[in-house]
Amino acid sequence: MGNIFDILGPVMVGPSSSHTAGAVRIGMVARQLFGRQPEKAEVILHGSFAATGKGHGTDRALIAGLLGMMPDDMRIPDSYEVAKDMGMDFVMKNKNIKGAHPNTAQIIMEAEGVPQMKIQAHSIGGGRICVCKLDGIDVNFSGESCTLIIRNVDEPGRIMEVAAALSKAEINVATMQVFRDKRGGTAVMVVETDQVIPQSAIDELESKPGIIRVKFLDPNGSV
């Protein structure tokens, strides 16, 4: 269990920490991972999110997050209108996602000049979330710490390169997870760090052979 401000708090727009505040966080983390505001988003609600999402404002909360709002933003109930003003097109669908957690949303984001991104995340209560799929690959992170996400070719030496680059930038690794779709296919490294990773280190990683894409999520940064 967290600190006393997880008990007395958060300050949030109602009515539900899991279905509203958590949904805002899912949208927010998706936006941070995408690196910018999507021009087009497709949002899929599953399970309890689909069944009670409308009454809980889950739909509006997810869009609010994609627009960069925090869980206490008073504009959350009006996020559909804000999306129009800010030039973000979106569709909202209910769909059963096999085997997914009851409070799951899937978001596909598009913008000109950048590859499409698809994330799946679920809300675990108290406004906290877990990102569980990134472009079809299973992952598992909360977005509460600095998180480095690297897509690379599944071949020997890639993990060492990443570790070396982080070491050079004096970044301490808190946790590290490695996933892949198949042997020799695409792999994903999720590295949670104690420090914010400087852009120079991200650029260096991105230039290495075998590294496909690098994303850095700073929970206190703005996108």
Partner 1 sequence: MSYQSMEEAQLRGEKENIPFWKAIQLEDAQERDVKIEDSWEKMKYMWQSMLDALDAYEPDKVSRSGLVGTEGGLMDNYRENEEPLCGDFVSKVMSNALKMGCNNACMKRIVAAPTAGACGVLPAVLVTYYKEYNVPEEKMIEAMYVAAGLGQIIANRAYLAGASGGCQAEIGSGSGMAAGAICYIKGGDTDQIGHACAMALKNLMGLVCDPVGGLVEVPCVKRNVGGAVNALAAADMALAGITSKVPVDQVIDAMKEVGDKMDVSLRETGVGGVAGTPAAQEVVEKLGM
Q: How far is the CB of 194 from partner 1 (least distance, A)?
A: 12
Residue whose CB is less far from partner 1, 55 or 198:
55
> Measured from the CB atom, is 128 or 215 closer to partner 1?
128
Q: Which run of H or E residues covers position 166?
A: helix 158-168
- 94 is a site residue for partner 1 (CB under 8 A): no
State the binding string over 15-54 for partner 1 (x if CB under 8 A, else -). Answer: xxxx-xx--------------------------x--xx-x
155 binds partner 1 (CB under 8 A): no
Torsion of the alpha carbons at 90, 91, 97 and 103, rounded to the nearest 10: 70
Cβ pair 64, 79 in contact under 8 A: yes
User: Nearest CA to 177 among 206, 143, 150, 213?
Assistant: 150
Closest CA to 131 of 101, 97, 158, 153: 101
Within residues 65-84, the interface with partner 1 by CB under 8 A covers 72, 74, 76-77
Q: Establish if 1 lies at the interface with partner 1 (CB under 8 A).
A: yes
Encoding tokens for residue 23?
A: 């949904």
Pairing outcome for strands 89-94 and 40-47: parallel
- Note the residues at the interface with partner 1 (CB under 8 A): 1, 3-18, 20-21, 48, 51-52, 54-57, 60, 72, 74, 76-77, 125-127
